[in-house]
Amino acid sequence: MTAMDMGAAGASILTQDGLRQFQEDGFTVVRGLFGPDEVDRLCAEFAALHAAGPVPGHFEPRRSGDPLAAYPRVMHPHEISETALRVLLDARLRRALEALLGEEVLAAQSMFYFKPPGARGQALHQDNFYLRVEPGTCVAAWVACDVIGRDNGGLEVVPGTHRMDLFCPEVADAEVSFAREYVPPPPGLAAVPVDMAPGDVLFFNGSLVHGSQPNGTTDRFRRSFIGHYVGRSAERIGHYYRTLSMDGERVALAESEGAGPCGTEFAPHGPH
pLDDT at 270: 44
Give a yes or no: residue 208 inside a domain: yes
pLDDT band at residue 264 using 50, 70 and 90 as cut-offs: confident
- Residue 239 counted as domain residue: yes
**Residues 63-111 pLDDT 10s:** 888 999 999 999 999 999 999 999 999 999 999 999 999 999 999 999 9
| Confidence (pLDDT) at 272 | 32
Question: Which pLDDT does position 268 carry in this prediction?
Answer: 63
100 within some domain: yes
> At residue 157, what is the residue type?
V
Encode pLDDT of 217-258 as tens digits: 999 999 999 999 999 999 999 999 999 999 999 999 999 988
- Cα separation, 9 vs 85, in Å, equals 22
pLDDT at 271: 38
Beta bridge mates, 14: none
Is position 261 within any domain?
no
> Can you spell out the DSSP letters for the chain?
--HHHHHHHTTTTS-HHHHHHHHHHSEEEETT-S-HHHHHHHHHHHHHHHHT--BTTTB-----SSHHHHSPPEESGGGT-HHHHHHHT-HHHHHHHHHHHSS-EEEEEEEEE---TT--BEEEE-THHHH--BSS-EEEEEEE-S-B-TTTT-EEEETTGGGSPPP--EE--TTTBSBSEE-PPPTT---EE--B-TT-EEEEETTSEEEE-----SS----EEEEEEEETT--EE-TT---EETTS-B---EEPSS--SSS-BPPP-S--
Instruction: Tell me whether residue 262 is in a domain.
Output: no
pTM for this entry: 0.93
* 188 is a domain residue: yes
For the chain, what is the mean pLDDT? 93
In angstroms, how far is CA 198 from the centroid of its own chain? Answer: 15
267 within some domain:
no
At 130-184, the pLDDT tens digits run: 999 999 999 999 999 999 999 999 999 999 999 999 999 999 999 999 999 999 9
Asked if residues 122 and 226 have their Cβ atoms less than 8 Å apart, the reply is no
- The number of domains in the chain is 1
- Here the CATH number for the domain that contains residue 120 is 2.60.120.620
Q: Tell me which amino acid residue 113 is.
A: Y
Average pLDDT, stretch 23-37?
Answer: 98
Print the domain residue range for 141.
3-255
Residue 136 lies in a domain: yes
Encode pLDDT of 180-227 as tens digits: 999 999 999 999 999 999 999 999 999 999 999 999 999 999 999 999
More confident residue, 252 or 4: 252
